[in-house]
Amino acid sequence: MNKIKSLTAPISVNFEVTDQCNLKCFFCFCGTEAYQSSLSSVSNSEKIKNAKRILDILAKNNVFEIRLFGGEFSLLKNWKSIVEYAYDLDFFMSFISNGTLFNEADIEFLIDKKITNCGISVHGLDSLHDQIVGIPGSFKRASRNIQLLSDGGVKTSVLFTPTKTNILHLEKFARTIIEKYGASSVGVNRLFRNDRYENLSFSDYEYLFGIIKKLQDDGLPVFFTGSFPRCKVSTKYWRYMSNCSQGMAFCQIDYMGNIKNCSSLCVNLGNIFQKSLQDIWQKGLAEFRTLKHLPLSCRLCPSFCGGGCIASRTIEQNFIADEFIKLPNEETLIESITVTAKNYAKKWHSMIYTQPRKKQTTKKWQSHDKPHVICRYKTRKEANDYYLCMIEKKGIVVLNKKSISILDLLNGNNTIENIEKKLSKKLPQKIIKEDITEVLDIFID
Ligand SMILES: C[S@@+](CC[C@H](N)C(=O)[O-])C[C@H]1O[C@@H](n2cnc3c(N)ncnc32)[C@H](O)[C@@H]1O
Ligand code: SF4
Ligand code: SF4
């Protein structure tokens, strides 16, 4: 039976430093009454003061990455002092923004503070985007900043929220924003259901998957970044889909210290000024991790995708199964068994027909080489022989004690032969060259 393992603390945190925004996107969940009433109204200086206290707590809990979020973080007066503070605490940092408020100096500042990737939300070209966000000139400003960020070496993904207004424009939009404006990729997310606008149907998503595949076939990096029940779509789209890590490795915190497992939800799990982060993270999500909010077919699923999106039916309640799968009490035992059998068939089909990604050719290491890992990375012990490691621009890997000990010595001062000898004395098992090259393959391209 599938179950989610609890980490000691989240790995990555969306930090909602303000609820205010300069744009008026008609679909924005921050604009709902329920969302607004979940946040307190406080002064700018209070937000900055709280932000620093929050960052201290997150650093103490070994959170690796902070993603500045809002509202619009760059609207907060003195937002740079938060970036400075997080930089001094040595967080990996990125941001999600509408990209309209930065000037050249701001972008230089962000680059200087080692921000190497970000997401800029744009939902159409030119006047279509301006109409969606409600402020003329927004496309011009955001697209100029995408160019400036990309030129400065910041990996800039464009985030496209599909609605009935822009869904048919995705293909042209993605080609233009990548080819003309230098976006590193386009991520298409899920539109959360709400009465304020016309919602998307299952066939709308099927249409989007088809366009994403077409763009990918043409070599363009376009992905479906929202989570979606995989069993409901053809296996040919699986490689362009991602799983959501809300409540597993990721959470959101607002400027009052309230924690949520998902950014779009209005439900808080607890406040880190009142309770420890570990308590909120481990106890507050214990029930969720048993997956009882999902139908039995998900708990038995051989290609567990997280069960789609918990915010897809409503953003006002937590832990609800995706709108395109059944609720636990709606699924009969026969249905669970049938869905599970089909899921095994799909999994085998995808394993047979999906070509494995080509393994990168790795450098041939000699025993006298003195390898030096120079990329930025952070590690954290989770259990006795289980460490998490976040590598800048690469993501998360799980390492054991042996790999961590090897990593410590990959500092340019030790030959491979030396490392073998040193560690074979220190560790219970003998360390051979292959153990070392395995670690090098992860850290050195
Ligand atoms: C809430 S905004 C905050 C950061 C920033 N202001 C921005 O627009 O990127 C973060 C992301 O949520 C997306 N979003 C807002 N409302 C949504 C909804 N109802 N359904 C799906 N995504 C939504 C936005 O398009 C944006 O990409
Ligand atoms: S820019 Fe972001 S926060 Fe502002 S209204 Fe649009 S989606 Fe919401
Ligand atoms: S986890 Fe659930 S929603 Fe996801 S593929 Fe499996 S059965 Fe479908």
pLDDT of residue 182: 96
From 165, 158, 162, 161, select the one nearest 143 (Cα to Cα): 158
Ligand sitting nearest the alpha carbon of 309? 3
Mean pLDDT of the chain: 93
Q: Which atom of ligand 2 is closest in space to residue 161's alpha carbon?
A: 7
Q: Which has more confidence, 248 or 351?
A: 248
Q: Which atom of ligand 3 is closest in space to residue 306's alpha carbon?
A: 1
CA of 217 to the centre of ligand 2 (A): 31
Ligand sitting nearest the alpha carbon of 31? 2
* Model confidence at 357: pLDDT above 60: no
Q: Which has more confidence, 356 or 150?
A: 150
Ligand 3, pocket residues at CB < 6 Å: 229-231, 297-298, 301, 303-305, 307-308, 325, 343
Least confident of 56-65, 127-136, 260-269: 260-269
Q: Which atom of ligand 1 is closest in space to residue 27's alpha carbon?
A: 19
The span from the CA of 313 to the CA of 332, in Å, is 21
Give the pairing type, strands 258-260 and 270-271. Answer: antiparallel
Ligand 1, pocket residues at CB < 6 Å: 21, 27-30, 69-70, 72, 96-98, 121, 159, 161, 189, 191-192
pLDDT tens readout for residues 372-415: 999 999 999 998 789 999 999 888 999 999 999 999 999 999 99
% of the chain surpassing 70 pLDDT: 98
The span from the CA of 285 to the CA of 4, in Å, is 10
Nearest CA to ligand 1 atom 17: 28
Ligand 2, pocket residues at CB < 6 Å: 21, 23-25, 28, 30, 70-72, 98, 121, 133
pTM assigned to the model = 0.93
CA of 341 to the centre of ligand 3 (A): 12
pLDDT tens readout for residues 21-70: 999 999 999 988 888 888 888 999 999 999 999 999 999 999 999 999 99
Ligand sitting nearest the alpha carbon of 199? 1
